[in-house]
Amino acid sequence: MAYSTLLQNRIEATGLVSDLAIKKMFGGICYLAGGKMALGVYQDFLILRLGVEDARDALLGSDHVLPFNITGKTMKGWVMVDPTGWQPEPSLIDYISRSIAFARTLSP
């Protein structure tokens, strides 16, 4: 399955990623802040890099947030949000903002 261009368009329409680099990875697209992946689109999932604690809180706080696992190995600090979770605009903006903020804390 190709990645969701609907989700890509929704992400870009927020204006929050206008200064981020875009790179194709994992059969989807990724947005990089300072060279570090912040978020992406894989199939119809929103992929977020939140850090271990925030990812754990996101997993506990929503049935629509899943561990990021596309290779058979879960990546700590990352989550996947299904379409029901990212479709409400306030949720999408919050998720994007949190992932960009985390990526910007990482050393270059």
In three-state form (DSSP H/G/I as H, E/B as E, the rest C), the secondary structure along 77-101 is: CEEEECHHHHCCHHHHHHHHHHHHH
pLDDT bucket at 2, cuts 50 / 70 / 90? confident
CATH number at residue 23: 3.90.1150.30
In a domain, 82, yes or no: yes
Domain count, the chain: 1
In a domain, 108, yes or no: no
The per-residue pLDDT for range 52-93, each reduced to its tens digit, is 999 999 999 889 999 999 889 999 999 999 999 999 999 999
Residues spanned by the domain of 50: 5-103
In a domain, 92, yes or no: yes
Contact between 64 and 84 under an 8 Å Cβ cutoff? The reply is yes
In a domain, 12, yes or no: yes
Percentage of the chain exceeding pLDDT 90: 88
The CA-atom distances, in angstroms, between 24 and each of 27, 29, 33, 41, 52 are 7, 4, 14, 10, 24
Question: For position 88, what pLDDT does the model report?
Answer: 92
Question: For position 1, what pLDDT does the model report?
Answer: 66
